[in-house]
A and B are shown apart, each in its own frame.
Chain A
Amino acid sequence: MECPDLTALATMIPDARTPLHYRLPPVPVLLSAVVLIVCAEVGGASMVRFKLELTRWARNAMLARPAVHGLVGVRDVDERVLDEALVKFDAGLRLFHLHAEGMGLVILATTTVAATLASSPAPRRSIIALLTVGGAGYPLGYLLWSGLIPYHGLERGKTIAEWLVWIPFGGATIVALWWLAGLLALRLCRH
Protein backbone atom coordinates (compact mmCIF):
# COMPACT_ATOMS: atom_id res chain seq x y z
CA MET A 1 0.00 0.00 0.00
CA GLU A 2 1.30 3.43 -0.93
CA CYS A 3 1.98 5.83 1.96
CA PRO A 4 0.24 9.22 1.72
CA ASP A 5 2.49 12.19 1.11
CA LEU A 6 2.64 13.88 4.53
CA THR A 7 3.97 17.12 3.12
CA ALA A 8 0.99 17.39 0.83
CA LEU A 9 -1.34 16.69 3.73
CA ALA A 10 0.35 19.40 5.84
CA THR A 11 -0.27 21.99 3.15
CA MET A 12 -3.99 21.28 3.36
CA ILE A 13 -4.14 22.64 6.94
CA PRO A 14 -5.01 26.33 6.72
CA ASP A 15 -2.27 28.57 8.10
CA ALA A 16 -4.81 30.93 9.58
CA ARG A 17 -6.34 28.24 11.77
CA THR A 18 -6.14 29.29 15.42
CA PRO A 19 -4.99 26.66 17.90
CA LEU A 20 -7.68 25.46 20.31
CA HIS A 21 -7.21 26.63 23.89
CA TYR A 22 -9.04 24.39 26.33
CA ARG A 23 -10.98 26.16 29.05
CA LEU A 24 -11.45 24.52 32.41
CA PRO A 25 -15.02 23.99 33.61
CA PRO A 26 -16.07 25.83 36.81
CA VAL A 27 -14.42 24.77 40.08
CA PRO A 28 -17.60 23.23 41.64
CA VAL A 29 -17.85 20.97 38.58
CA LEU A 30 -14.25 19.82 38.92
CA LEU A 31 -14.78 19.32 42.63
CA SER A 32 -17.91 17.21 42.01
CA ALA A 33 -16.01 14.98 39.60
CA VAL A 34 -13.10 14.54 42.00
CA VAL A 35 -15.42 13.84 44.96
CA LEU A 36 -17.28 11.28 42.84
CA ILE A 37 -14.04 9.49 41.97
CA VAL A 38 -12.99 9.56 45.63
CA CYS A 39 -16.40 8.07 46.58
CA ALA A 40 -15.86 5.35 43.98
CA GLU A 41 -12.49 4.44 45.44
CA VAL A 42 -13.72 4.52 49.03
CA GLY A 43 -16.76 2.46 48.01
CA GLY A 44 -14.62 -0.10 46.20
CA ALA A 45 -12.22 -0.43 49.11
CA SER A 46 -15.05 -0.70 51.67
CA MET A 47 -16.77 -3.32 49.54
CA VAL A 48 -13.69 -5.52 49.75
CA ARG A 49 -12.85 -4.73 53.38
CA PHE A 50 -16.39 -5.29 54.71
CA LYS A 51 -17.58 -7.91 52.23
CA LEU A 52 -18.41 -10.46 54.91
CA GLU A 53 -20.16 -7.96 57.17
CA LEU A 54 -22.16 -6.51 54.30
CA THR A 55 -23.24 -9.96 53.08
CA ARG A 56 -24.20 -11.02 56.60
CA TRP A 57 -26.19 -7.84 57.14
CA ALA A 58 -28.02 -8.19 53.80
CA ARG A 59 -28.77 -11.87 54.43
CA ASN A 60 -30.17 -11.20 57.90
CA ALA A 61 -32.23 -8.30 56.62
CA MET A 62 -33.68 -10.55 53.91
CA LEU A 63 -34.37 -13.42 56.31
CA ALA A 64 -36.24 -10.97 58.52
CA ARG A 65 -38.56 -10.16 55.58
CA PRO A 66 -39.56 -13.53 54.08
CA ALA A 67 -42.72 -12.18 52.47
CA VAL A 68 -40.81 -9.48 50.57
CA HIS A 69 -38.43 -12.03 49.04
CA GLY A 70 -40.94 -14.84 48.61
CA LEU A 71 -39.09 -17.15 51.00
CA VAL A 72 -41.01 -20.33 51.71
CA GLY A 73 -39.01 -21.80 54.57
CA VAL A 74 -37.61 -24.71 52.53
CA ARG A 75 -33.84 -24.52 52.31
CA ASP A 76 -33.60 -26.01 48.81
CA VAL A 77 -35.96 -23.35 47.48
CA ASP A 78 -34.89 -20.35 49.55
CA GLU A 79 -31.14 -20.67 49.11
CA ARG A 80 -31.36 -19.79 45.44
CA VAL A 81 -33.59 -16.78 46.09
CA LEU A 82 -31.17 -15.53 48.75
CA ASP A 83 -28.17 -16.26 46.55
CA GLU A 84 -29.62 -14.29 43.64
CA ALA A 85 -30.46 -11.34 45.90
CA LEU A 86 -26.98 -11.38 47.45
CA VAL A 87 -25.31 -11.57 44.03
CA LYS A 88 -27.36 -8.58 42.88
CA PHE A 89 -26.65 -6.74 46.15
CA ASP A 90 -22.93 -7.22 45.51
CA ALA A 91 -23.36 -6.32 41.83
CA GLY A 92 -25.03 -3.05 42.83
CA LEU A 93 -22.03 -2.10 44.96
CA ARG A 94 -19.61 -3.06 42.20
CA LEU A 95 -21.59 -1.12 39.60
CA PHE A 96 -21.60 1.92 41.87
CA HIS A 97 -17.80 1.72 42.11
CA LEU A 98 -17.47 1.26 38.35
CA HIS A 99 -19.93 3.96 37.33
CA ALA A 100 -18.72 6.51 39.89
CA GLU A 101 -15.17 6.15 38.58
CA GLY A 102 -16.32 6.32 34.98
CA MET A 103 -18.80 9.15 35.39
CA GLY A 104 -16.22 11.23 37.27
CA LEU A 105 -14.02 11.08 34.20
CA VAL A 106 -17.00 11.62 31.89
CA ILE A 107 -17.90 14.80 33.81
CA LEU A 108 -14.31 16.09 33.52
CA ALA A 109 -14.06 15.36 29.80
CA THR A 110 -17.50 16.48 28.66
CA THR A 111 -17.68 19.67 30.74
CA THR A 112 -14.22 20.64 29.46
CA VAL A 113 -15.47 20.19 25.89
CA ALA A 114 -18.61 22.17 26.68
CA ALA A 115 -16.68 24.97 28.41
CA THR A 116 -14.31 25.19 25.45
CA LEU A 117 -16.56 24.77 22.44
CA ALA A 118 -20.05 25.89 23.45
CA SER A 119 -19.85 29.60 22.71
CA SER A 120 -23.26 30.82 23.91
CA PRO A 121 -23.23 31.29 27.70
CA ALA A 122 -26.78 30.09 28.44
CA PRO A 123 -26.59 26.71 26.65
CA ARG A 124 -23.04 26.22 27.93
CA ARG A 125 -24.12 26.72 31.53
CA SER A 126 -27.13 24.43 31.09
CA ILE A 127 -25.09 21.68 29.46
CA ILE A 128 -22.40 21.84 32.15
CA ALA A 129 -25.03 21.80 34.92
CA LEU A 130 -26.86 18.83 33.37
CA LEU A 131 -23.63 16.89 32.83
CA THR A 132 -22.48 17.52 36.39
CA VAL A 133 -25.74 16.81 38.17
CA GLY A 134 -26.61 13.85 35.95
CA GLY A 135 -23.13 12.38 36.02
CA ALA A 136 -22.71 12.74 39.77
CA GLY A 137 -26.19 11.48 40.60
CA TYR A 138 -26.47 8.49 38.27
CA PRO A 139 -23.97 6.17 40.04
CA LEU A 140 -25.74 6.76 43.37
CA GLY A 141 -28.68 4.82 41.91
CA TYR A 142 -26.63 1.62 42.15
CA LEU A 143 -25.84 2.32 45.80
CA LEU A 144 -29.50 3.01 46.45
CA TRP A 145 -30.53 -0.19 44.63
CA SER A 146 -28.13 -2.27 46.71
CA GLY A 147 -29.45 -0.74 49.91
CA LEU A 148 -33.06 -1.32 48.87
CA ILE A 149 -32.68 -4.99 47.87
CA PRO A 150 -32.77 -6.43 51.42
CA TYR A 151 -35.80 -4.31 52.35
CA HIS A 152 -37.87 -4.22 49.17
CA GLY A 153 -36.66 -7.13 47.04
CA LEU A 154 -34.93 -7.13 43.67
CA GLU A 155 -37.64 -5.84 41.39
CA ARG A 156 -39.24 -3.26 43.66
CA GLY A 157 -35.80 -1.99 44.69
CA LYS A 158 -34.88 -1.65 41.04
CA THR A 159 -38.08 0.21 40.18
CA ILE A 160 -37.53 2.71 43.03
CA ALA A 161 -33.89 3.30 42.01
CA GLU A 162 -34.97 3.68 38.38
CA TRP A 163 -37.56 6.38 39.00
CA LEU A 164 -35.69 8.21 41.73
CA VAL A 165 -32.19 8.19 40.25
CA TRP A 166 -31.36 6.32 37.06
CA ILE A 167 -33.98 7.79 34.76
CA PRO A 168 -33.79 11.46 35.89
CA PHE A 169 -30.02 11.66 36.33
CA GLY A 170 -29.13 9.30 33.46
CA GLY A 171 -31.65 11.15 31.29
CA ALA A 172 -30.07 14.50 32.19
CA THR A 173 -26.62 13.24 31.16
CA ILE A 174 -27.88 11.78 27.89
CA VAL A 175 -29.84 14.91 26.98
CA ALA A 176 -26.81 17.09 27.78
CA LEU A 177 -24.56 14.90 25.64
CA TRP A 178 -26.96 15.07 22.69
CA TRP A 179 -27.27 18.81 23.15
CA LEU A 180 -23.50 19.18 23.21
CA ALA A 181 -23.14 16.93 20.17
CA GLY A 182 -25.73 19.04 18.34
CA LEU A 183 -23.94 22.27 19.19
CA LEU A 184 -20.61 20.86 18.00
CA ALA A 185 -22.19 19.62 14.77
CA LEU A 186 -23.68 23.08 14.20
CA ARG A 187 -20.31 24.67 14.86
CA LEU A 188 -18.62 22.34 12.37
CA CYS A 189 -21.25 23.12 9.73
CA ARG A 190 -20.78 26.84 10.20
CA HIS A 191 -17.02 26.57 9.73
Chain B
Amino acid sequence: MSPLAALGLFLVAATPALAHHVGAYVPKDNAITANFKQIKFSVQAGKFDVAHRLFETGALRTDMSARAASLPPRLEAGLRDALQSRDGGEVERRLMVFFAALARDLALEAERRLADLTLSRDARTAIGQRFLEAIWRYYNLVDFAVAQRDDKTSVAVRLAFDEAEGYVKSSPIPNPDKLREPLRRIAQVLSALIDSSLPARRSS
Protein backbone atom coordinates (compact mmCIF):
# COMPACT_ATOMS: atom_id res chain seq x y z
CA MET B 1 0.00 0.00 0.00
CA SER B 2 1.38 3.39 -0.94
CA PRO B 3 1.83 6.03 1.81
CA LEU B 4 -0.77 8.21 0.09
CA ALA B 5 -3.33 5.42 0.08
CA ALA B 6 -2.55 4.66 3.73
CA LEU B 7 -3.04 8.31 4.61
CA GLY B 8 -6.34 8.34 2.68
CA LEU B 9 -7.53 5.24 4.51
CA PHE B 10 -6.53 6.75 7.84
CA LEU B 11 -8.45 9.94 7.13
CA VAL B 12 -11.53 8.05 5.96
CA ALA B 13 -11.43 5.79 8.99
CA ALA B 14 -10.92 8.65 11.44
CA THR B 15 -13.62 10.94 10.01
CA PRO B 16 -16.30 9.75 12.48
CA ALA B 17 -14.13 11.20 15.26
CA LEU B 18 -15.41 14.61 14.14
CA ALA B 19 -18.95 13.59 14.99
CA HIS B 20 -18.61 13.37 18.75
CA HIS B 21 -21.71 13.88 20.83
CA VAL B 22 -21.80 17.04 22.93
CA GLY B 23 -25.42 17.04 24.10
CA ALA B 24 -28.32 19.26 23.08
CA TYR B 25 -29.70 22.34 24.77
CA VAL B 26 -33.42 22.96 25.02
CA PRO B 27 -34.18 26.45 26.33
CA LYS B 28 -36.09 26.38 29.58
CA ASP B 29 -38.67 28.75 31.01
CA ASN B 30 -37.31 31.41 33.29
CA ALA B 31 -39.01 32.17 36.61
CA ILE B 32 -41.30 34.79 35.05
CA THR B 33 -42.50 32.76 32.06
CA ALA B 34 -42.97 29.67 34.25
CA ASN B 35 -45.04 31.70 36.73
CA PHE B 36 -47.07 33.18 33.85
CA LYS B 37 -47.94 29.69 32.61
CA GLN B 38 -48.95 28.58 36.11
CA ILE B 39 -51.26 31.58 36.51
CA LYS B 40 -52.67 31.26 33.00
CA PHE B 41 -53.47 27.55 33.34
CA SER B 42 -55.02 28.09 36.79
CA VAL B 43 -57.25 30.82 35.37
CA GLN B 44 -58.22 28.63 32.41
CA ALA B 45 -59.16 25.87 34.86
CA GLY B 46 -61.29 28.35 36.83
CA LYS B 47 -59.03 28.05 39.89
CA PHE B 48 -58.78 31.77 40.60
CA ASP B 49 -57.79 31.28 44.24
CA VAL B 50 -54.81 29.19 43.09
CA ALA B 51 -53.95 31.73 40.38
CA HIS B 52 -54.13 34.54 42.94
CA ARG B 53 -51.80 32.70 45.31
CA LEU B 54 -49.37 31.92 42.47
CA PHE B 55 -49.41 35.57 41.44
CA GLU B 56 -48.81 36.90 44.95
CA THR B 57 -45.95 34.51 45.66
CA GLY B 58 -44.41 34.24 42.19
CA ALA B 59 -41.63 35.88 40.21
CA LEU B 60 -44.06 37.62 37.86
CA ARG B 61 -45.45 39.96 40.52
CA THR B 62 -41.95 40.65 41.89
CA ASP B 63 -40.78 41.66 38.42
CA MET B 64 -43.95 43.66 37.81
CA SER B 65 -43.31 45.65 41.00
CA ALA B 66 -39.66 46.17 40.11
CA ARG B 67 -40.58 47.53 36.67
CA ALA B 68 -43.58 49.56 37.87
CA ALA B 69 -42.06 52.81 36.59
CA SER B 70 -42.09 51.67 32.98
CA LEU B 71 -45.48 49.93 33.15
CA PRO B 72 -48.97 51.43 32.85
CA PRO B 73 -50.29 52.73 36.20
CA ARG B 74 -52.25 50.24 38.36
CA LEU B 75 -51.30 47.27 36.18
CA GLU B 76 -50.45 45.15 39.19
CA ALA B 77 -53.37 46.32 41.33
CA GLY B 78 -55.76 45.82 38.42
CA LEU B 79 -54.46 42.29 37.85
CA ARG B 80 -54.95 41.51 41.53
CA ASP B 81 -58.52 42.93 41.39
CA ALA B 82 -59.28 40.85 38.28
CA LEU B 83 -58.06 37.68 39.99
CA GLN B 84 -60.18 38.41 43.06
CA SER B 85 -63.27 39.17 40.97
CA ARG B 86 -62.67 36.02 38.85
CA ASP B 87 -62.47 38.02 35.62
CA GLY B 88 -60.45 35.76 33.31
CA GLY B 89 -60.55 38.13 30.33
CA GLU B 90 -59.17 41.02 32.32
CA VAL B 91 -56.42 38.84 33.83
CA GLU B 92 -55.37 37.79 30.34
CA ARG B 93 -55.44 41.38 29.08
CA ARG B 94 -53.24 42.65 31.90
CA LEU B 95 -50.77 39.80 31.54
CA MET B 96 -50.67 40.56 27.81
CA VAL B 97 -49.84 44.20 28.56
CA PHE B 98 -47.10 43.17 30.99
CA PHE B 99 -45.37 40.86 28.51
CA ALA B 100 -45.82 43.34 25.66
CA ALA B 101 -44.08 45.92 27.90
CA LEU B 102 -41.23 43.49 28.63
CA ALA B 103 -40.78 42.83 24.90
CA ARG B 104 -40.98 46.56 24.09
CA ASP B 105 -38.34 47.46 26.70
CA LEU B 106 -36.04 44.78 25.32
CA ALA B 107 -36.55 46.06 21.76
CA LEU B 108 -35.69 49.61 22.87
CA GLU B 109 -32.61 48.42 24.75
CA ALA B 110 -31.50 46.33 21.76
CA GLU B 111 -31.92 49.29 19.45
CA ARG B 112 -29.82 51.42 21.80
CA ARG B 113 -27.07 48.79 22.05
CA LEU B 114 -26.92 48.31 18.29
CA ALA B 115 -26.35 52.03 17.81
CA ASP B 116 -22.95 51.63 19.46
CA LEU B 117 -20.68 51.62 16.41
CA THR B 118 -17.56 51.04 18.51
CA LEU B 119 -18.60 47.38 18.69
CA SER B 120 -17.61 45.08 15.85
CA ARG B 121 -20.15 43.90 13.29
CA ASP B 122 -20.01 40.35 14.70
CA ALA B 123 -20.51 41.56 18.27
CA ARG B 124 -23.54 43.63 17.23
CA THR B 125 -24.95 40.68 15.30
CA ALA B 126 -24.55 38.42 18.34
CA ILE B 127 -26.13 41.04 20.62
CA GLY B 128 -29.02 41.52 18.19
CA GLN B 129 -29.61 37.79 17.95
CA ARG B 130 -29.68 37.37 21.73
CA PHE B 131 -32.05 40.28 22.22
CA LEU B 132 -34.36 38.92 19.52
CA GLU B 133 -34.46 35.54 21.29
CA ALA B 134 -35.36 37.27 24.56
CA ILE B 135 -38.02 39.45 22.89
CA TRP B 136 -39.61 36.45 21.24
CA ARG B 137 -39.56 34.40 24.45
CA TYR B 138 -41.81 37.01 26.08
CA TYR B 139 -43.91 38.11 23.12
CA ASN B 140 -44.60 34.54 22.00
CA LEU B 141 -46.46 33.92 25.28
CA VAL B 142 -49.05 36.58 24.54
CA ASP B 143 -49.15 36.62 20.75
CA PHE B 144 -52.41 34.67 20.72
CA ALA B 145 -54.03 37.11 23.16
CA VAL B 146 -52.74 40.04 21.09
CA ALA B 147 -54.06 38.51 17.85
CA GLN B 148 -57.49 37.98 19.41
CA ARG B 149 -57.75 41.64 20.36
CA ASP B 150 -55.78 43.33 17.58
CA ASP B 151 -54.69 41.10 14.73
CA LYS B 152 -52.97 43.97 12.88
CA THR B 153 -50.62 44.51 15.81
CA SER B 154 -49.86 40.82 15.99
CA VAL B 155 -49.06 40.66 12.29
CA ALA B 156 -46.98 43.85 12.45
CA VAL B 157 -44.88 42.52 15.32
CA ARG B 158 -44.32 39.18 13.67
CA LEU B 159 -43.39 40.75 10.32
CA ALA B 160 -40.93 43.10 12.03
CA PHE B 161 -39.53 40.19 14.00
CA ASP B 162 -39.08 38.04 10.86
CA GLU B 163 -37.35 40.92 9.12
CA ALA B 164 -35.04 41.43 12.12
CA GLU B 165 -34.20 37.73 12.25
CA GLY B 166 -33.35 37.84 8.56
CA TYR B 167 -30.71 40.47 9.23
CA VAL B 168 -28.95 38.36 11.86
CA LYS B 169 -29.59 34.80 10.69
CA SER B 170 -30.71 34.07 7.15
CA SER B 171 -28.76 36.61 5.15
CA PRO B 172 -25.49 35.40 3.68
CA ILE B 173 -23.78 38.29 5.49
CA PRO B 174 -25.49 39.45 8.71
CA ASN B 175 -26.39 43.12 8.67
CA PRO B 176 -26.81 44.46 12.20
CA ASP B 177 -27.11 48.06 10.91
CA LYS B 178 -30.47 47.29 9.33
CA LEU B 179 -31.66 45.54 12.47
CA ARG B 180 -32.42 48.78 14.29
CA GLU B 181 -35.35 49.69 12.06
CA PRO B 182 -37.50 46.56 12.71
CA LEU B 183 -36.60 46.76 16.41
CA ARG B 184 -37.83 50.35 16.49
CA ARG B 185 -41.02 49.23 14.74
CA ILE B 186 -41.58 46.43 17.28
CA ALA B 187 -41.22 48.94 20.13
CA GLN B 188 -43.61 51.41 18.49
CA VAL B 189 -46.28 48.82 17.74
CA LEU B 190 -46.11 47.35 21.24
CA SER B 191 -46.22 50.81 22.84
CA ALA B 192 -49.39 51.55 20.88
CA LEU B 193 -50.85 48.21 21.98
CA ILE B 194 -50.06 48.95 25.64
CA ASP B 195 -51.55 52.44 25.42
CA SER B 196 -54.72 51.23 23.75
CA SER B 197 -55.20 48.23 26.05
CA LEU B 198 -55.61 50.10 29.33
CA PRO B 199 -57.06 53.50 28.48
CA ALA B 200 -59.57 53.67 31.30
CA ARG B 201 -57.10 52.54 33.98
CA ARG B 202 -54.37 54.91 32.79
CA SER B 203 -56.52 57.93 33.47
CA SER B 204 -57.56 56.72 36.90
Contacts and interface: CB of A to CB of B under 8 A. Distances in A.
Contacts of B18: 162, 167
Interface residues of B, number: 27
Interface residues of A, number: 29
Given A88-B25, A95-B21, A95-B23, A80 B13 contact: no
Interface string A47-74: 0000000000000000000000010101
A178 B13 contact: yes
B62 to A, nearest CB: 12
Interface in A154-190: 158, 162, 166-167, 170-175, 178
Contact of A70 (B102, B106, B130): B130
B113 A72 contact: yes
A166 B21 CA distance: 10
Contacts, number: 76
Dominant SS among interface residues on chain A = helix
A28 B55 CA distance: 62
A31 interface: no
B28 A74 contact: no
A76 interface: yes
A76 B127 contact: no
A175 B10 contact: yes
Contacts of A88: 22-23, 25
A54 B202 CA distance: 48
Interface string B1-40: 0000000001001101110111101011010000000000
